[in-house]
Amino acid sequence: MAGAMLELRFRSPVSVEVDGIYRELHMTWAGVQSDGSLNSVSPSPVVTWEFPVLAKYRLNRQGMQPFVEAGPSFRTTGNLNFTPSHIGISAGVGVETRWRGLNIAPTLRYTRWASDLSTVGRDRSTQKNQLELLVAFSHTTESRWSPAGRHVSLGAVVGWGLNADFGSSTSSYYYEYPGATVTQRGTGLTSSIAGPSVEIHLRPRLSVEVDALHKPLRSRIDTTFDNGVRPQSSTATAATTWQFPVLAKYRFRLGSVNPFAEAGPSFRLPQSNFSRHGVTAGTGVEMRYRALKISPALRFTHWGPETGFASSGGGVARNEASVLVGFSFGGIHSR
């Protein structure tokens, strides 16, 4: 495992750490002959990136500083030899020491992942419990609130979709037990949105923002039998997507707040038959509370066409509206 880390310190013992960690998951299939020899040995790796977002508390000790950390973890996958879950919860303990201006922090971290998105047999399920030994190397910047300089803001975006993730659909088929025709109606639901954000300030009013947004796509299935039997409705997450809008952002001066408009392309990691590209536009206002910048916004994305139906419902919605709130530190003030 290896990757990059960013830590924002709010006060002496408290901070938030965000990591981007590369890790390959490994599994090997093989046929066993009657004499014990192997054939058709087939390694099946899956490339993943893990993104733990951890609240961190340091104990006040001189020299070495013990710490505890906890928070959610997110995961993306590349080639899908199997389909691990995309969300989990992490907790860890460690100790930080300084050597010639460098922070060195060995950490023992535990992550509990949610159930896999789908499996083929029990032996193809990934391990839910993950224990790892990590060592972080970092250098503290002089400014607590502008860790990447005056021209870069770092933060996070949270929000909710305003329209259904899938279109509605209806299908019917005959089911031998209980000897009735089954009608299933699929309805899309709305989903949460969250992820890290970086903004590069080109001029006081002009910037470029890049987000990495985690969004599950959910639907509800209502089943009805023509003999009157009506099982309980089921809700399922058909897919978990990562979206990457790259938006040019222009601010307008208006008293203590700065209205802004934003627009640009959006990209989505490969997932089933969903479109991988679209276009996004939005509007909002930017406010500051001390060193914290708060930016509520309404955003609209139009995705390209699918290559085929990606679910049993009416397909994923191509038009996506959402309400988002950004929180960030650093960057220059508009004027």
CATH of the domain at 275: 2.40.160.20
Would residue 103 count as lying in a domain?
A: yes
pLDDT band at 334 (very low <50, low <70, confident <90, very high): very low
Query: Which one of 79, 112, 138 terminates a domain?
Result: 138
* pLDDT score for 120: 46
Select the highest-mean-pLDDT range: 202-206, 208-212, 250-254: 208-212
Examine the domain organization and report whether 176 and 292 are in the same domain.
yes
How many whole angstroms separate alpha carbon 311 and alpha carbon 178?
A: 26
Cα pseudo-dihedral 120, 222, 191, 131, rounded to 10: -30
Cβ 71 vs Cβ 98: under 8 Å: no
Confirm whether 162 is domain-assigned: yes
Q: What CATH number has the domain bearing residue 13?
A: 2.40.160
Using pLDDT thresholds of 50, 70 and 90, give the confidence band for residue 174: low
Are 164 and 134 in a shared domain?
A: no
Q: Does 240 or 5 have the greater pLDDT score?
A: 5
pLDDT at 121: 45
**Co-location of 324 and 202 in the same domain:** yes
Query: Distance between CA atoms of 176 and 157, rounded to whole angstroms?
Result: 49
Question: Within this chain, do residues 129 and 191 fall inside the same structural domain, yes or no?
Answer: no
Structural domain contains residue 147:
no
206 and 325 belong to one structural domain = yes
Tens of pLDDT, residues 28-42: 888 888 888 888 788
pLDDT for res 266: 94
pLDDT score of 250: 95
109 inside domain: yes
Q: Could you tell me if 300 and 163 lie in one domain? A: yes
For residue 118, the model assigns a pLDDT of: 58
User: What would the DSSP string read from start to end of 188-229?
Assistant: E---EEEEEEEEEESSSSEEEEEE-EEEEEEEEEEEEETTS-
**pLDDT per residue over 256-277, tens digit each?**
789 999 999 999 887 767 888 9
> Quick one: average pLDDT of 160-170?
84
pLDDT tier, 109 (very low <50, low <70, confident <90, very high otherwise): very high
Asked whether residue 335 is domain-assigned, the answer is no
List the beta bridge partners of residue 194.
158, 214
Quick one: 308 and 172 in the same domain? yes
> String of b and e for 37-60 (b: at least 16 CB within 10 Å)?
eeeeeeeeebebbbbbbbebebee
pLDDT in tens, 273-314: 788 899 999 999 999 887 788 999 999 999 998 765 444 445
Query: pTM of this prediction?
Result: 0.61
pLDDT for the residue numbered 290: 78
Would you say residue 303 lies in a domain?
Answer: yes
Q: Are residues 106 and 158 in the same domain?
A: no
The confidence score (pLDDT) of residue 46 equals: 81
Highest averaged pLDDT of the listed ranges 36-45, 98-107, 184-193, 310-319: 98-107
Q: Is residue 18 assigned to a domain?
A: yes
Asked if residue 201 and residue 291 are part of one domain, the reply reads: yes
Is pLDDT above 70 for 180? no
Looking at 105, 138, 171, the residue that finishes a domain is 138
How many domains is the chain partitioned into structurally?
2
Q: What is the mean pLDDT of residues 119-146?
A: 74
Among candidate residues 99, 116, 138, the one where a domain is terminated: 138
Is the predicted pLDDT of residue 123 greater than 60, yes or no? no
167 assigned to some structural domain: yes
> Are residues 319 and 280 both part of a single domain?
yes
Domain that holds residue 310: 152-330
Residue 46 sits in the same domain as residue 184? no
Rounded average pLDDT over 80-91: 81
